[in-house]
Amino acid sequence: MADIGEIIERIPGVAVRKDELLSLHTTLGVGGPCDLMVWVSDAPALAEVIGAATTEDLPFMVLGSGSNVLVRDGGIEGIVIRLTGDFARIEVDSCRIRAGAGADLAGVVSAATAAGVGGFEFLGGVPGTVGGAVAGNAGTADEWISRRIAELDVLDDGRRARTVAAAGFEFGYRRAAIPAGWVITGAVLAGYAADVESVRRTVEDRLEARRRSQPVGERTAGCVFKNPADVPAGKLIDEAGLKGLEVGGARVSTLHSNFIVNTGGATAREILELIQIVRKRVEDSYGTNLELEIKVIGRN
């Protein structure tokens, strides 16, 4: 690893740390080390980093704010890329917002609110970066970011920076069909002219509703399971009597059963065990096979 670390470190606009623990970079606060964590601040640097990884045959992935992933205790092989600098920019031009993939959704919501751009209120309190939100079509139960995406900035599998119309991509519930090997580097989001005060109030209402119904501020990765078509996963888990169930430091939230909380010192293994128990109990009680919404990645 020393060699590739040194090669990447010499690329302008890049910072590198070896054996960085993913538990420091995920909202659940679990996950072992990656070989290299690489902070990249512009598109040319990103192309070079990916080029170096490809030449060395080293796997790489981009991590956003780590708010929808469960990284296993063995960590991640290869390079974990974080997008900063240019990739964290947010620019408002009339009712269009150009945001880098590394920008926080909260920043997009603030920028839209300040500029009186409507259409992003539903993202109030949704954790994550723009890149992660696009890749997982983040949103609420009934409003997803895909309906606001006009264009995507990407680095394609040939390491070419391109801007492509979002209409060419298929988005579904917590799902986006982005071609393998492409990295989302930004998005142009389209809203509409609205009254600043009414946007602000709607965002505030959304935040308040979330604080009432979800364990905001605790260590979680958001909803663990996708909602089945007929009944919300949280309702099924609740009715199966699993609220508050614990394995080690992992607990089914007592506020919202589709959240698992790291109450302190949980391991990924404990969280995964709790997930298995919840799945089995819901399957036994209702015959419903809950599908994971969070992404489980890394080595055992």
Contact residue for ligand EPU among 13, 74, 232, 248 (CB under 6 A): 232
Rounded to whole angstroms, how far apart are CA atoms 202 and 143? 14
User: Which part of the chain contacts ligand EPU (CB under 6 A), choosing from 84-92, 151-159, 230-238, 270-278?
Assistant: 230-238
Binding mask 258-287 for ligand EPU (x = CB under 6 A): x-----------------------------
Catalytic residue among 48, 151, 270, 293: 293
Q: Of residues 3-42, which lie at the interface with ligand EPU (CB under 6 A)?
A: none
Q: Among 102, 124, 234, 298, indicate the residue that binds ligand EPU (CB under 6 A).
A: 234
Spatial distance between the Cα atoms of 290 and 121, rounded to a whole number of angstroms:
29
List 129, 185, 257, 267, residue binding ligand EPU (CB under 6 A): 257
Token output for 265 = 């010192």
Residues 6 or more apart from 189 whose CB is under 8 A from it?
96, 97, 98, 99, 108, 120, 145, 148, 149, 150
Q: Which stretch binds ligand EPU (CB under 6 A): 77-85, 107-115, 181-189, 256-264?
A: 256-264
- Report how far residue 74's alpha carbon sits from residue 37's, in angstroms, rounded to the nearest whole number: 15
Which residues inside 189-228 make contact with ligand EPU, applying CB under 6 A? 213, 222-223, 226-227
164 - beta bridge partners? 152
Indicate which single residue of 54, 84, 140, 288 sits in contact with ligand EPU (rule: CB under 6 A). Answer: 140
Amino acid at 73: D
**Distance in angstroms (rounded) separating the CA atoms of residues 55 and 113:** 44
Q: How far is the CB of 237 from ligand EPU (least distance, A)?
A: 7
**Which residue out of 82, 148, 174, 206 is catalytically annotated?**
174
Candidates 186, 256, 261, 272; binder of ligand EPU (CB under 6 A) is 256
Q: Quick check: is 223 catalytic?
A: yes
Considering the rule CB under 6 A, would residue 162 count as an interface residue with ligand EPU?
no
Q: Is 55 in the site for ligand EPU (CB under 6 A)?
A: no
Decide: helix, strand or coil at residue 150: strand
- 174 counts as catalytic: yes
Of 157, 162, 130, 161, the closest CA to residue 146 belongs to: 130
| Residue 155 zone, left/alpha/beta (φ > 0; ψ -120 to 50; rest) | beta
Query: 195: left (phi > 0), else alpha (psi -120 to 50), else beta?
Result: beta
> H or E element: which one contains 45?
helix 43-55
Binding-site size for ligand EPU (CB under 6 A) equals 16
Which one, 149 or 233, has the nearer CB to ligand EPU? 233
95 catalytic residue (yes or no): no
Cα separation of 288 and 291, whole Å?
A: 9
Q: Which residues bind ligand EPU (CB under 6 A)?
A: 140-141, 213, 222-223, 226-227, 232-235, 238, 256-258, 293
Q: Active-site positions? A: 174, 223, 293
